[in-house]
């Protein structure tokens, strides 16, 4: 329930629930701590995306300077997204144990040197290495989603996650415009083209560095303060890593979402890597035109991923969690069909139109995924977020290795097959089932399982006796909104019954 009655709640600019999470999302507000965390998180993630995909729009120049082969370029693209696979799981763990503020600022700052070093690479191997280490920064996506789930209540968490992730992903499109423009300005000033592209990398490197310091000095982990202070005061229990890890890895719902996310966000990452060169090579566009077309794919994140998160919340208000699952499956399946079509069309104008529509659906599916993720586990939210995020990178790596590395397939054939994979890997959503809310084809458990049953199952009797489960208890109460208005759900139960999964 909303809680604005007590005096301790009155210092928040937005209405909050019993966990002090905001129950409203006001995008034009910069109020601390909720909306300030939102803006810090998406700007930092945007900076990391710009850095990671700064190279693709300049590849026609870079490949001539470094004598890169098609295989070298493919390997570098794979390296850029593979670096974050394990980093995302580690980031989830760090968020659970140390808080999203410190975790995000640290990784953003630690990966900035790799972006600076991009300006001095002179071999194929060194180019691959800087892209690999720069790609670690994409793990800040996990801290972004964790942070939003820590700041915003169940009724708006899909919108908050979708907006933060989507606006951050804008960096993948913006860099397609930014880097060619910066390169052109430096070249026009007087630098030769093989020097201009190197100087251009200093822009994303500096941007990333500044965003790290902004998060560290101006952010706050939770509405009530930073983890370190809350642990010291005893207001927040410092959790046991082994238990957090166990409850994340034994929850099959997290694994399914990791798989399906591999073929929405993974596809998005793949397209970010290949699309500019695809239009440049297949349709003989110039570098500037190819960059604009490629940018339009990523820039759709301005509204598509946020739209997916918003749609998830709307469906939940009417149909509960079952509505979120149906929306995710439908949107991602349509995205797969459009991806197949993108590989089949053979004219420039048709390819651009299909790509734009495809971008909306594949990115909306990403937002819809993280409308579900916050409800899989309260205790292990960070690792579940990390697993799902890492799934996106694994999907990107596998897709690029199979379809776009070297010359095994024509690029258009690879795009078509990638669409087939999207459809196939979306099917497991049908098997996600929450006993207190139901699944796509089944209603809630006939055993009368409640939200308390589900979330209390992550805590042992000994931990409950010490009150460690209190935050989960509040979350269970606030997540009753997932019952929806049109779908039956389990009865409310105020006791803490035996564990169920």
Q: Mean of the pLDDT values across residues 3-19?
A: 66
Tell me if 364 is assigned to some domain: yes
Tell me if 109 is assigned to some domain: yes
Number of domains in the chain: 2
CA gap 4, 2 in Å, rounded: 6
pLDDT of residue 288: 76
Q: Are residues 416 and 481 in the same domain?
A: no
Q: Are residues 117 and 68 in the same domain?
A: yes
CA distances from 489 to 197, 205, 441, 480 (A): 58, 50, 14, 9
Helix axis angle, 59-66 to 124-135, nearest 10°: 140
Tell me if 153 is assigned to some domain: yes
Tell me if 397 is assigned to some domain: yes
pLDDT band at 301 (very low <50, low <70, confident <90, very high): confident
Tell me if 355 is assigned to some domain: yes
Domain span holding position 81: 33-222+240-431
Tell me if 10 is assigned to some domain: no
Tell me if 28 is assigned to some domain: no
pLDDT in tens, 108-138: 999 999 999 999 999 999 999 999 999 999 8
The pTM score is: 0.83
pLDDT in tens, 400-423: 888 887 657 788 899 999 999 999
The phi and psi torsions of 433 (rounded to 5 degrees) equal -140, 125
Q: Does the pLDDT of residue 440 top 70, yes or no?
A: yes
Q: Are residues 448 and 423 in the same domain?
A: no
3-state class of 418 per DSSP?
A: helix
Q: Are residues 384 and 451 in the same domain?
A: no
Q: Are residues 245 and 276 in the same domain?
A: yes
Q: Does the pLDDT of residue 300 top 60, yes or no?
A: yes
Of 376, 411, 431, the last residue of a domain is 431
Contact between 71 and 405 under an 8 Å Cβ cutoff? The reply is yes
Of 431, 454, 485, the last residue of a domain is 431
Q: Are residues 151 and 261 in the same domain?
A: yes
Closest CA to 373 of 295, 320, 311, 321: 321
């Amino acid at each position: 329930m909303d809680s604005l009655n007590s005096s301790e709640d009155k210092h928040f600019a937005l209405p909050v629930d019993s966990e002090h999470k905001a129950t409203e999302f006001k995008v034009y507000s910069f109020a601390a701590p909720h909306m300030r965390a939102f803006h810090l998180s998406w700007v930092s993630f945007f900076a990391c995306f710009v850095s990671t995909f700064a190279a693709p729009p300049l590849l026609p120049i870079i490949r001539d300077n470094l004598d890169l082969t098609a295989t070298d370029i493919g390997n570098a693209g794979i390296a850029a997204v593979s670096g974050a696979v394990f980093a995302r799981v580690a980031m989830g763990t760090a968020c659970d144990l140390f808080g999203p503020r410190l975790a995000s600022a640290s990784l953003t700052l630690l990966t900035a040197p790799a972006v600076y070093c991009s300006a001095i690479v002179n071999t194929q191997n060194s180019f691959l290495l800087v892209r690999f280490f720069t790609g670690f920064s994409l793990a800040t996506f996990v801290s972004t989603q964790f942070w939003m789930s820590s700041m915003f209540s169940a009724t708006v968490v899909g919108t908050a996650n979708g907006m933060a992730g989507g606006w951050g992903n804008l960096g993948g499109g913006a860099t397609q415009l930014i880097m060619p423009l910066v390169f052109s300005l430096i070249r026009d000033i007087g630098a030769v083209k093989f020097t201009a592209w190197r100087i251009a990398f200093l822009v994303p490197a500096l941007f990333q560095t500044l965003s790290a310091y902004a998060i560290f000095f101006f952010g706050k982990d939770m509405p009530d303060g930073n983890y370190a202070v809350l642990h010291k005061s005893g207001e927040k229990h410092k959790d046991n890593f082994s238990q957090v890890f166990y409850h994340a890895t034994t929850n099959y719902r997290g694994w399914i979402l990791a798989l399906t996310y591999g073929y929405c966000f993974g596809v998005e990452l793949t397209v970010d890597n290949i699309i500019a060169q695809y239009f440049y090579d297949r349709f003989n566009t110039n570098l500037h035109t190819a960059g604009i077309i490629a940018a339009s794919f990523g820039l759709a994140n301005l509204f598509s991923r946020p739209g997916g998160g918003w749609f998830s919340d709307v469906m939940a208000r009417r149909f509960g969690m079952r509505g979120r699952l149906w929306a995710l499956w439908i949107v991602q399946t349509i995205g797969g069909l459009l991806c197949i079509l993108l590989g089949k069309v053979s004219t420039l104008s048709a390819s651009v139109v299909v790509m734009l529509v495809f971008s909306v659906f594949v990115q909306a599916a990403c937002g819809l995924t993280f409308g579900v993720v916050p409800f899989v586990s309260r205790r292990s939210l960070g690792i579940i977020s990390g697993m799902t995020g890492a799934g996106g990178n694994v999907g990107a790596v596998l897709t690029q290795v199979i379809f776009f590395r070297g010359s095994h397939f024509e690029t258009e054939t690879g795009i078509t097959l990638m669409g087939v994979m999207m459809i196939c890997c979306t099917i497991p959503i049908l098997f996600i089932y929450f006993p207190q809310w139901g699944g796509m084809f089944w209603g809630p458990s006939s055993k009368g399982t409640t939200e308390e049953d589900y979330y209390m199952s992550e805590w042992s009797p000994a931990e409950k006796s010490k009150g460690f489960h209190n935050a989960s208890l509040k979350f269970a109460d606030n997540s009753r909104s997932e019952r929806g208005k049109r779908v039956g759900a389990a009865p409310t139960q105020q006791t803490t019954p035996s564990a169920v999964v």
